[in-house]
Structure 1
């Protein structure tokens, strides 16, 4: 292999491991996707984590494709994050309220009863409801609800894509491969631990964990809505001066 080829290969693996490390540190931070993964893993088992990340990954792949098509100026428009934060925050609040209502409806009882109640609430009887509660769809919608996810991609993510393009098509593949692998490793691990631990949980502990996840989703939703409204008000106030 030529020296230039060795350098290119080193750059490819460099961007892969760098992308993995940066994405892993972000995935490990508490957020809506983590709360969703814990709740869905207790209900669906290990497969919830990989399926949620599949939806998350499809959304990010589309975003990278838009960057490559030259739409970064539109995606980085300052109005985009507040709009996503507002509607995304409302989506998280609605999801958390539904979880709280279900826990209240089922009250006490065994973990099997609680699980059945969540299954009834989240799956629904209609095809449309089942689609909305599909973990792949939830993974994409929950990611899209987070304005900070969009800000990350408009800044750090775009810089990574810009650099990886200089290495050719393989550069983009290695960057995205490292990025999504980090998410898959972390959330699959979380899903595995909680799905296995479910067997040892009492109904009260199970409902407590679901309640905490619902509370976190509610807090994230309220914070996103508040941040979005604050950003709009600040922009209006600045433009009036």
Structure 2
């Protein structure tokens, strides 16, 4: 079993690939930054984390009841999903542009915005019931500390990225160019593919 520091880093890297993806939660952070400044990032993250805690409890209860000893199958499906998400990330990175604000997303209450934009995003559910479930379950097999380390890294990436976004916008300028954003997304896509292949090989 991997040591806790390694699991923490893996959780952070996996979490960052999801946080970077343009979506309603990132747009809510951009909108809230106008009102709340750098605090928008942590506040939106709290709402997002609340949604994830709920889905984690569903995953643990469901997998514990239905899957039993077939964790290799979860790992296999999760690894394949990681590779697919990596390919999609690489593909989207080619023409990716930095997200803009969206008036249709209400961010007057950042915590609520983080919660609602998460549960309303189909990507959120697909990710958690494929990649997230497989990774979380594999680390929980090593004990509650291993599972906790994975989620701590995951949430640290969410909070760190969204806070960086809100702080930079509060200062008047986003810290990445479109080209830099594409590069970061590309690196994340390659990481997902590589980690997914490693995960599949481990399940087999």
TM-score in terms of structure 1 length: 0.53
CA contact (8 A) 2:33 2:41 kept: yes
Deviation at 1:97, TM superposition (A): 5.9
Q: 2:180 matched to 1:186?
A: no
- Cα deviation 1:176-205 (Å, max 9, x = unaligned): 10101100110000000011217xxxxxxx
Matched length: 139
CA contact (8 A) 2:59 2:129 kept: no
Deviation at 1:18, TM superposition (A): 1.0
Aligned to 2:78: none
CA distance in 2, matches of 1:30, 1:40: 16
Note closer, same or farther for the CA distance 1:193–1:68 as it changes in structure 2 (3 Å cut).
Answer: same
Deviation at 1:29, TM superposition (A): 1.9
Aligned to 1:49: 41
Instruction: Specify which structure has the higher proportion of helix.
Output: 1
Question: For the aligned residues, what is the CA RMSD?
Answer: 2.5
Note closer, same or farther for the CA distance 1:98–1:61 as it changes in structure 2 (3 Å cut).
Answer: closer
Structure 1 stretches lacking a partner, 5+ long: 1-7, 75-95, 100-121, 124-132, 199-241
Structure 2 stretches lacking a partner, 5+ long: 67-101, 174-204
Deviation at 1:65, TM superposition (A): 1.6
Aligned to 1:16: 8
Q: Which one has a bigger Cα radius of gyration?
A: 1
Aligned to 1:157: 132
Note closer, same or farther for the CA distance 1:45–1:159 as it changes in structure 2 (3 Å cut).
Answer: same
Deviation at 1:12, TM superposition (A): 2.2
CA distance in 1, matches of 2:165, 2:11: 20
Which residue of 143, 150, 153 maps to 1:175? 150
